[in-house]
């Protein structure tokens, strides 16, 4: 089949994965039991890779709202809001997400991917400049393809490199839109937001931040990294998703920049896709209403993240640079990475396997995402299994290595102040590895 | 000069060509051979991540932004020299 010949290398990679175990893309759960457990291949399995940060997917109130909306308004809108009109829930959710962020305007999109596609691809047009981080999510790269703007990458999380690029554009006409992410999805590292804002202000650029992985996770009321850093007034556009901490699907763009509504008439990913179904809107609204007061869940989430990070670090794994609800083991050996992922699956722990070129610096990653719904026993079991299999594969030495100190991030809203001194580790090695 | 003798490729003395080679070396395979018509991805064994890092270094060395789409059609070092020359004229 000649039309598929161009995918030969993809086919070979997929065949390799299938030859040594399961293929992540073909994995199918028999039953979902809770936000943290499923039946997979007949085995009870801990879900440690679903981005279900607040465990909202089985929230009783959200489910009830969804069922009511299904019964009252049907299963779908069968078209875009431009063509088919809006339902009252669409506008209500836009008002609520705008109010949540303290912004004047909001737009819904059908997914978080499409929010980036529709926002970034439309805000920057011909004659403008898009400045994107080298580790940007695929949705940002794809948005750049949709835009007619000139696309310039800057080194990951490097405000000095960004400044250099903007300096070279200082005399050029056209708007400059800098695009960053609060938490980067592969390694879980956060943006140096204050430094980025200082640069964008110096050069008169706009800043868009994707808070996909920080909504509900960071900040006193869960508004994300901007709230945590106290810089919300300096950010021009925020995108995000309802598919992680909100537990359903959908995306949004919020902003205080006057005139945002015109984007509805220019953004093809907004105009030419069916709008969110009423049941999804209803569950998103209910979940969003829980976020500001979910301080206990946020504290539990960060405690779980710290437990997993410290446990794996102490075992000797090479991890991402900071404690985060995304914990990634970095490996250089493809076969061992695949074997670790398969070994964990067979032992009853589901994580994500991420392979180059989708990963920073060409790492092979075993990526975990933590939920507030995880028990500390589940986290401990995951650490134990990961350590045992990692030793069998020679990924880590035996016995456990360091027991230095985890440098706690000043994250989230009110958190338990107890620092896990005994199980904490140093960031020094990671900083070196990242550099 | 006889008809069988070829004129030396003028690009070999081009400062941009020399700078590109300087920046390529740390990213290319150990046994790489550099010539104007070397294909950057295939001949130098560089994947997309290595190319991105090389371009960051080249931007710093030349004090020049290299937008993504300006390298979309670049295959050889000679192509890259031409793209850089054009960018420098425009900047």
**Distance, CA of B35 to CA of B44 (rounded, Å):** 11
**Distance, CA of A337 to CA of A318 (rounded, Å):** 12
> In the prediction, which pLDDT does A431 show?
28
B67 touching A (Cβ < 8 Å): yes
A174 touching B (Cβ < 8 Å): no
**Residues of chain B neighbouring A144 (CB-CB closer than 8 A):** 68
| B3 belongs to a structural domain | no
Q: State whether A155 and B69 contact (CB < 8 Å).
A: no
| B4 belongs to a structural domain | no
Residue B30: pLDDT band with limits 50, 70, 90: confident
| B2 belongs to a structural domain | no
> In the prediction, which pLDDT does A408 show?
36
Q: What is the CATH number of the domain that holds B72?
A: 1.10.1200.10
- Pair of tokens at residue A427: 């960031």
A379 alpha-carbon distance from chain centroid: 20
Burial grade of A88 (CB within 10 A; 0-12, 13-18, 19 or more): exposed
> Which ipTM value was assigned to this complex?
0.89
| B36 belongs to a structural domain | yes
Which among A144, A153, A186, A363 is the top mutation candidate for probing chain B, defined by the most B β-carbons within 10 Å of its own β-carbon?
A153
Q: State whether A361 and B47 contact (CB < 8 Å).
A: no
**Residues of chain A neighbouring B42 (CB-CB closer than 8 A):** none
**Using CB atoms and an 8 Å cut-off, which of residues 43-62 of chain B contact chain A?**
47-49, 52, 56, 59-60
| B41 belongs to a structural domain | yes
> In the prediction, which pLDDT does B8 show?
72
**Residues of chain B neighbouring A356 (CB-CB closer than 8 A):** 47, 49
**Distance, CA of B66 to CA of A171 (rounded, Å):** 16
Distance from CA of B58 to the nearest CA of A (A): 13
Q: Which residues contact B2 (CB under 8 A, 6 or more apart)?
A: none
> In the prediction, which pLDDT does A399 show?
60
Q: State whether A161 and B64 contact (CB < 8 Å).
A: no
**pLDDT (tens digit, 0 to 9) for every residue of chain A, 435 residues total?**
699 999 998 999 999 999 999 999 999 999 999 999 999 999 999 999 999 999 999 999 999 999 999 999 999 999 999 999 999 999 999 999 999 999 999 999 999 999 999 999 999 999 999 999 999 999 999 999 999 999 999 999 999 999 999 999 999 999 999 999 999 999 999 999 999 999 999 999 999 999 999 999 999 999 999 999 999 999 999 999 999 999 999 999 999 999 999 999 999 999 999 999 999 999 999 999 999 999 999 999 999 999 999 999 999 999 999 999 999 999 999 999 999 999 999 999 999 999 988 898 889 999 999 999 999 999 999 999 999 999 999 999 866 444 434 443 333 333 333 333 222 223 223 322 232
> In the prediction, which pLDDT does B37 show?
94
Taking residue A37's Cβ as centre, other Cβ atoms within 10 Å add up to 18
Alpha helical stretches, state H, A104-224 = 112-123, 138-146, 159-168, 193-202
| B66 belongs to a structural domain | yes
How many A-B residue pairs are in contact by the CB < 8 A criterion? 33
- Per the structure, the count of domains in chain B is 1
Q: State whether B67 and A357 contact (CB < 8 Å).
A: no
**Distance, CA of A116 to CA of A295 (rounded, Å):** 28
Distance from CA of A150 to the nearest CA of B (A): 6
Domain enclosing residue B55, as ranges: 10-90
């Amino acid at each position: 089949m000649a039309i598929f010949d161009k995918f030969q290398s993809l086919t070979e990679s997929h065949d390799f994965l299938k030859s040594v175990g399961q293929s992540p893309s073909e994995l199918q759960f028999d039953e979902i039991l809770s936000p943290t457990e499923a039946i997979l291949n007949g085995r009870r399995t801990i879900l440690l890779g679903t981005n279900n940060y607040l465990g909202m997917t089985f929230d009783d109130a959200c489910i009830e709202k969804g069922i009511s909306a299904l019964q009252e308004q049907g299963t779908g809108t069968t078209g875009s809001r431009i063509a088919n009109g809006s339902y009252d829930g669409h506008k209500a959710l836009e008002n609520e997400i705008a109010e949540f962020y303290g912004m004047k305007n909001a737009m819904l999109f059908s997914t978080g991917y499409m929010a980036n596609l529709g926002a970034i691809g439309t805000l920057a047009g011909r004659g403008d400049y898009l400045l994107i981080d080298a580790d940007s999510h695929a949705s940002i790269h794809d948005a750049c393809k949709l835009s007619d703007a000139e696309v310039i990458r800057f080194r990951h999380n490097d405000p000095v490199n960004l400044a250099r690029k903007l300096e070279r554009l200082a005399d050029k006409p056209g708007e400059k839109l800098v695009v960053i992410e609060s938490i980067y999805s592969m390694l879980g590292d956060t943006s140096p937001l204050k430094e980025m804002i200082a640069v964008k202000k110096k050069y008169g650029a706009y800043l868009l931040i994707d808070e996909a992985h920080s909504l509900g996770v960071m900040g006193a009321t869960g508004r994300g990294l901007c709230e945590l850093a106290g810089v919300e007034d300096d950010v021009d556009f925020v995108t995000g998703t309802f598919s992680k901490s909100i537990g359903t699907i959908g995306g949004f763009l919020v902003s205080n920049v006057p005139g945002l509504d015109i984007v509805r008439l220019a953004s093809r990913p907004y105009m030419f896709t069916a709008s969110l179904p009423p049941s999804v809107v209803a569950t998103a609204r209910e979940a969003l209403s829980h976020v500001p007061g979910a301080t206990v869940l946020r504290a539990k989430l960060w405690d779980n993240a710290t437990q997993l990070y410290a446990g794996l670090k102490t075992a000797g794994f090479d991890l991402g640079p900071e404690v985060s609800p995304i914990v990634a083991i970095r490996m250089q050996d493809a076969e061992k990475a695949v074997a670790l992922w398969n070994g964990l699956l067979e032992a009853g722990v589901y994580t994500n396997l991420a392979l180059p070129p989708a990963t920073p610096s060409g790492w092979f990653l075993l990526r975990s995402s933590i939920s507030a719904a995880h028990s500390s026993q589940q986290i401990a079991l995951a650490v134990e299994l990961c350590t045992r299999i990692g030793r069998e594969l020679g990924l880590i030495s035996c016995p456990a290595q360091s027991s230095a100190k985890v440098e706690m991030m000043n994250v989230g809203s009110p958190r338990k102040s107890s620092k896990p001194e005994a199980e904490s580790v140093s960031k020094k090695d990671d900083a070196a590895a990242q550099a | 000069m006889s008809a069988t003798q070829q004129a030396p490729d003028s690009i070999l003395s081009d400062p941009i060509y020399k700078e590109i080679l300087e920046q390529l070396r740390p990213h290319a395979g150990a046994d790489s051979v550099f010539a104007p018509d070397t294909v950057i991805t295939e001949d130098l064994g560089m994947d997309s991540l290595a190319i991105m890092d090389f371009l960051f270094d080249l931007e710093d060395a030349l004090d020049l932004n290299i937008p993504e789409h300006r390298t979309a059609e670049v295959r050889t070092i000679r192509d890259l020299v031409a793209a850089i020359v054009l960018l420098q004229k425009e900047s």
